[in-house]
Structure 1
Amino acid sequence: MDVKNAFLYEDLQEEVYMQLPPGSSQANDGMVCRLHKAIYRLKQYPRAWYAKLSYMLEATSFIRSNIDSPLFIRKGLDGLLVVLIYVDDIIITGENEIEIEALKQSLNHIFAIKDLGRLKYFLYIEMATSQKGLFINQRKYVMDLLIEAELLNCKLAAIPLDSKLKLDIDGEFINNLSHYQRLVGKLIYLTITQLDITYVMSLVSQFMHAPSVKHLLIAKRILSYLKGSIARGILMKNNHFTQINGYMDSDWAGNLIDRKSTTGYFTFVGGNLVTWKSKKTASYCTEAEYCAMTLTTSELICLKGLLSDLGLFSITSMSMMCDNQAAMHIVVNPVFHERTK
């Protein structure tokens, strides 16, 4: 659902004044007017809009999630009802169609809302449902990016990054810095569904301030790889269990420029891949593995809290997979905790 003119509904709590628009009879007399409602380009309007919408939802027995503030949940005799907010776009799902329609009607009485029907396209993410499950990808987003970068007819790349490539800070720097930053920024958004480019995106993102021609070629190679895997995505199935698993790993001084380590993890919920991350850290060897376990543990706790808010309580404990014996010895021995950060 889309809220029309969402930022014009909010009542301002602060005192905000503005100059009179040109053409007013008192515009040249130094007069100003006080705003009672938010207008566009006002820095208070996103917060004011969220406060008004959340107050309306909480007044209808919705509870805000402790893990994700844009998520509102209502549990009742008629089943679960979930509302997810992104600025002026709202996703509504639940177990009872009548409850969903009733919520739409109540929202339409307060705001001007356009019902876009069943969820198929949201924030450049395409979603398709079938008997196999929910499939999400970003095919249209990749096509638009290939057209913008003029690489629609480029050759396909089998892998996003050459395994023998040695990154460095030498080479000819590009003149159009904003072009590289805009291209890499759009590629980062593709890591929502293309987890196989997460690591290489963490590499090219490190040179946003001073990219060279070599770094630009890597970014274009990523696009060439995405062209060959444009139909790929993530399939989420109903496996009838909510077991949470996490896998993590870290290399040892893998970055040849500053000799720092790279940490990566991904998590599964009910056998479905849900989150992943690749990040460079300042730690080394065992400390890097230990920090990776810390990041993965935080992610697992957040996922467990999110499932608890949705009423999905698992009696089995979460599991985290690590292959570093020294880091595991630190975790299980409380005496070592005084010697770690």
Structure 2
Amino acid sequence: MIVTGNDPEEVKKLEAHLSSVFEMKDLGGLKYFLGIEVARSKEGISLSQRKYVVDLLIETGLLACQPADTPMEQNHKLAEYPDQVPTNKERYQRLVGKLIYLSHTRLDIAYAVSVVSQFMHAPSEDHMHAVHRILRYLKTNPGKGIMFSKNNHTDIAGYTDADWAGSITDRRSTSGYFTFVGGNLVTWRSKKQKVVARSSAEAEYRGMAHGVCEMLWLRHLMKDLGFKPKHAMNLYCDNKAAIDIAHNPVQHDRTKHVEVDRHFIKEKLESETINMPHVRTEDQLADILTKAVSGKVFHSSLDKLGMRDIYSPT
């Protein structure tokens, strides 16, 4: 159990009450919780799962493997094929399950894990190779994690992107978003959309709606914590067509199938809850949540997102 608060006396009273009901003791400052390691420094607070990664590599016999530069091969063709060679289903599901838990602090494997988790019901050897590549990538920086630094604001911002018809199996799009509070990355998601999008603008628009929902939830959470919003939230998107649809009150044939999302986003724009500035494709951080990119783009995005390995030698 983690006990936190800004009133030390109230924290002590709560701990005393819990101790009277349950058998427990105070372990001091938070350092390790459910596989997540917490480290504090002058730069800020770092969250990582280094021991969890090392234990996973030992379990799979890949501790001495050849590292991979990225978690997934660019332009991969992972799908379900009639002639695919099956692999051990239980082992595959166990490994993917552990990788899903690891993605709580490792946003760099979020897209790769979302892809391999789509084949849990009938994994093949190619799917298992993809899982092993994720593990070989983790070997490169097992201590990589998220750094939370103290900044002079609590503004909420987000990046949203979608890869139109990226799935070979059913041509559904993959959407993803990153959200920031006070300049620090707090939530992210990479997920295949539930329906087939008929245009890239539609795919981007559906992904945009998910990003807006997440940012609104964070806005309400910050209000509950006593931080009233001072500015409209910026949601960065690299698709001009989707941004134009959001601002245009006129109905078009191409927007009828996203009508609910269109009115939802339009309402938030008119109330000045959100802004939707355009961002260049090369500056779109959410790109790594929707597709497998090159090593150069991948590592450049991770640096901008604030991922650090505090265990690596300087």
TM-score range, shorter-chain basis? 0.7 to 0.9
Q: Is 1:131 aligned to residue 46 of structure 2?
A: no
Please report how far the alpha carbon of residue 165 of structure 1 lies from its aligned counterpart in structure 2 after TM superposition.
Answer: 2.2
Q: Is 1:270 aligned to residue 270 of structure 2?
A: no
Please report how far the alpha carbon of residue 318 of structure 1 lies from its aligned counterpart in structure 2 after TM superposition.
Answer: 0.8
Higher strand share: 1
What's 1:121 paired with?
A: 32
| Partner of residue 223 from structure 1, selected from 135, 138, 142 | 135
Larger Rg: 1
Q: Which amino acid aligns with 1:270?
A: G
TM-superposition CA deviations, 1:234-281 (whole Å, max 9, x none): 100110210100100111111122111110110111000111111111
User: What is the distance in 2 between the residues matched to 1:303 and 1:181?
Assistant: 32
What's 1:239 paired with?
A: 151
Task: Summarize the alignment of residues 153-172 of structure 1 with structure 2, pairs less than 5 Å apart.
Answer: 153-170=64-81, 171-172=83-84
Please report how far the alpha carbon of residue 144 of structure 1 lies from its aligned counterpart in structure 2 after TM superposition.
Answer: 1.0
Q: Which amino acid aligns with 1:244?
A: I
Does the 8 A contact of 1:264 with 1:276 survive in 2?
A: yes
Please report how far the alpha carbon of residue 164 of structure 1 lies from its aligned counterpart in structure 2 after TM superposition.
Answer: 3.2
Q: Which amino acid aligns with 1:273?
A: L
Q: Is 1:189 aligned to residue 101 of structure 2?
A: yes
Does the 8 A contact of 1:240 with 1:270 survive in 2?
A: yes
Q: TM-score, normalised by structure 2?
A: 0.77
**% of aligned pairs identical?**
50
What's 2:308 paired with?
A: none
For structure 2, the 5+ residue unaligned runs are 261-314
3-state DSSP class of the match of 2:3? strand
Does the 8 A contact of 2:96 with 2:131 survive in 1?
A: yes
Higher relative contact order, structure no. (Cα contacts within 8 Å, ≥ 6 residues apart)? 2
Q: Is 1:200 aligned to residue 112 of structure 2?
A: yes
Of the structure 1 ranges 224-233 and 161-170, higher mean CA displacement relative to structure 2 is found in 161-170
Q: Which amino acid aligns with 1:259?
A: R
Cα distance change of structure 1 residues 100 and 192 upon mapping to structure 2, 3 Å threshold: same
3-state DSSP class of the match of 2:30? coil
Q: TM-score, normalised by structure 1?
A: 0.71
Higher helix share: 2
Does the 8 A contact of 2:87 with 2:125 survive in 1?
A: no
Please report how far the alpha carbon of residue 180 of structure 1 lies from its aligned counterpart in structure 2 after TM superposition.
Answer: 0.3
User: What is the distance in 2 between the residues matched to 1:272 and 1:283?
Assistant: 33
Q: Is 1:257 aligned to residue 172 of structure 2?
A: no
User: What is the distance in 2 between the residues matched to 1:145 and 1:174?
Assistant: 23
TM-superposition CA deviations, 1:282-339 (whole Å, max 9, x none): 2422211111111000000111111111111121111101122221222223343982
What's 2:60 paired with?
A: 149
What's 2:292 paired with?
A: none
Tell me which stretches of 4 or more aligned residues in structure 1 moved more than 6 Å. none
User: What is the distance in 2 between the residues matched to 1:175 and 1:254?
Assistant: 25
User: What is the distance in 1 between the residues matched to 2:191 and 2:235?
Assistant: 18
Of the structure 1 ranges 166-175 and 292-301, higher mean CA displacement relative to structure 2 is found in 166-175
User: What is the distance in 1 between the residues matched to 2:150 and 2:17?
Assistant: 31
3-state DSSP class of the match of 1:334? coil
| Partner of residue 309 from structure 1, selected from 207, 216, 224 | 224
For structure 1, the 5+ residue unaligned runs are 1-89
TM-superposition CA deviations, 1:66-113 (whole Å, max 9, x none): xxxxxxxxxxxxxxxxxxxxxxxx211122322211221122222222
| Partner of residue 245 from structure 2, selected from 323, 330, 339 | 330
3-state DSSP class of the match of 2:4? strand
| Partner of residue 202 from structure 2, selected from 280, 287, 292 | 287
User: What is the distance in 2 between the residues matched to 1:211 and 1:175?
Assistant: 6
| Partner of residue 109 from structure 1, selected from 11, 20, 24 | 20
TM-superposition CA deviations, 1:25-67 (whole Å, max 9, x none): xxxxxxxxxxxxxxxxxxxxxxxxxxxxxxxxxxxxxxxxxxx
User: What is the distance in 2 between the residues matched to 1:196 and 1:299?
Assistant: 19
TM-superposition CA deviations, 1:3-36 (whole Å, max 9, x none): xxxxxxxxxxxxxxxxxxxxxxxxxxxxxxxxxx
User: What is the distance in 1 between the residues matched to 2:138 and 2:162?
Assistant: 25
Q: Which amino acid aligns with 1:238?
A: K
Please report how far the alpha carbon of residue 116 of structure 1 lies from its aligned counterpart in structure 2 after TM superposition.
Answer: 2.1
| Cα RMSD (Å) | 1.6
Q: Which amino acid aligns with 1:154?
A: C
User: What is the distance in 2 between the residues matched to 1:270 and 1:295?
Assistant: 20
3-state DSSP class of the match of 2:220? helix
What's 1:19 paired with?
A: none
Does the 8 A contact of 2:87 with 2:124 survive in 1?
A: no
3-state DSSP class of the match of 2:144? coil
Of the structure 1 ranges 293-302 and 95-104, higher mean CA displacement relative to structure 2 is found in 95-104
Does the 8 A contact of 1:173 with 1:210 survive in 2?
A: no
User: What is the distance in 2 between the residues matched to 1:249 and 1:310?
Assistant: 29
Would you say how many aligned residue pairs link Structure 1 and Structure 2? 252
Q: Which amino acid aligns with 1:134?
A: I
